[in-house]
Amino acid sequence: MSAFEVELTPIVFLDLSLLTMLILVAFAMLRSRHLFAVVMLSGIYSLLSAAFFVSLDAVDVAFTEAAVGAGVSTVLMLAGMLLTARREKPKTPGRAPVALAVVFVTGAALAYATIDMPAFGDPDAPANSYVGQQYVDETPNDIAVPNIVTAVLASYRGFDTMGETMVIFTAGVAVMLLLGLGSARGGREVSDAEPEDGEAK
C-alpha cells in the first residue's frame, strides 16, 4: 500500500509497557469486587491512558484526560460509590457466557478490521493525509493560532464544541432533576409492602 515501514524503536517498548499496564489495570478492575479499589483503578487507568496519549502526541487530550478522566470522573465515581455500596456482591452465574459471546463477536469484528488497517503511524494513511493534513496546512492562513487542535476545536469544528458544552449543560440539568430539590428522593424508600399506584392490581 504505502512505502511506510514501522521501525522497532525504543518508543515501541515504551508504548508496549504502557499498554501492558493498561491491560493489567483493566483486568484488575474486572476481578476486584471491592468497589473502592475498582474506582481507584479506574482513575489509574485514566492516568495511564493519559500517559499513552502523550506518547501518541495528543498532548491536549492527555491533559484533558488527566483532568477530566482521572480527576472529575474518579471523584464522581467515588461519590457515587459512597452513596450506594462499597462491595459488589457475587453474581449468580448464567450471564457470563452470554456476555462472553457478545464480547467475542464484537472483538472479532474489530480484529477482522485490523487486517486492512493502515500501519500504526503511517503518514500516508487516508485518515492522516486528507482532512487532518488540510487542517495542518490551512490553520496558519485561516486562523493563526499555533495550536492546531485549538484552531479546529474552536473554529473549524466549533459547532461540535458548542454541542459539547450543551452536553455538559444537559448532564447538569439531568443530575439536578435526579438529585435536586423536589426530586422525590428518599420519598420512595424501600416500600415493597405496598405496590406503586401505577401498577397495583
Partner 1 sequence: MEWFDFVLERYNYWIVIILMMTGLYIVFARGNLVKKIVGLNLFQTSVFIYYLTIGKIAGGTAPIYVGGELDHGGGHGEEAPGHDAPGHDAPQGSDASLHETPEGASDHVNDLFGGEAGSDKIANDFASNDLKETLKDFQAQGAAAPTGGEASLHTPPEGVDGKIANDAFQNIKKPESIEFSIGDGHEAGANSLADAVHQASEVIYTNPLPHVLILTAIVVGVATTAVGLALAVRIREAYGTIEEDELEVIDNVAEFGEEARARAEGAAS
Partner 2 sequence: MNFAEQLPVLPIITPLVMAPVTLLLPKGRAPWAWATLASWLTFAACVFLLREVSASSAGFISYHLGDWAPPLGIEYRVDLANALVLLLVSGIASLVFPFAYRSVQLEIDERQSSLFYGALLICMTGLLGVTITGDAFNVFVFLEISSLSTYALIAMGARRDRRALTASFNYLVMGTIGATFFVIGIGLLYQATGTLNMADLHDKLAGNHSRVVDAGFAFIVVGMGLKLAMFPMHLWLPNAYTYAPSAVSAFIAATATKVAVYVLIRFLYSIFGFDFSFMGSAFTFVLLPLGLAGMFVASFVAVFQDDVKRMLAYSSVAQIGYMLLGLSFATVEGLTASLVHVFNHALMKGALFMAVACVVLRAGSHSVEAFAGLARRMPFTTWAFILSGLSLIGVPLTVGFISKWYLLQAAFAAGHWYAGFLIVASSLIALLYVGRIVEVMVLREPAEEGKYAIPARDAPLSMLIPMWIMVAANIYFGVNTELTGEIARRAAEALMMVAGGAP
Q: Give the residues lining the site for partner 2 (CB under 8 A).
A: 109-110, 112-113, 115-118, 125-132, 134-135, 138, 155-160, 162-164, 166-167, 169-171, 173-178, 180-184, 187-188, 196-201
167: contact with partner 1 by CB under 8 A:
yes
Residues 71-90 that bind partner 1 (CB under 8 A): 72-73, 76-77, 79-81, 83-85, 88-89
The item of partner 2, partner 1, none sharing an interface with residue 120, based on CB under 5 to 8 Å by kind, is partner 1
* Nearer to partner 2 (CB atom), residue 57 or residue 164: 164
Sign of CA dihedral 26, 31, 33, 34: negative
Asked if 135 and 148 count as a contact pair (C-beta separation under 8 A), the reply is yes
For cell 401498577, the residue is 199
Of 2, 13, 14, 127, the one binding partner 1 by CB under 8 A: 127
| Residues whose CB is less than 8 angstroms from the CB of residue 11 and which lie 6 or more positions away in sequence, other chains included | 55
Using CA atoms, how far residue 133 sits from 129, 143, 151, in Å, is 5, 15, 13
7: contact with partner 1 by CB under 8 A:
yes
- Closest contact distance (angstroms) between CB of 57 and partner 1 is 4
Using CA atoms, how far residue 187 sits from 7, 81, 133, 184, 196, in Å, is 63, 21, 56, 5, 12
- Closest contact distance (angstroms) between CB of 10 and partner 2 is 26
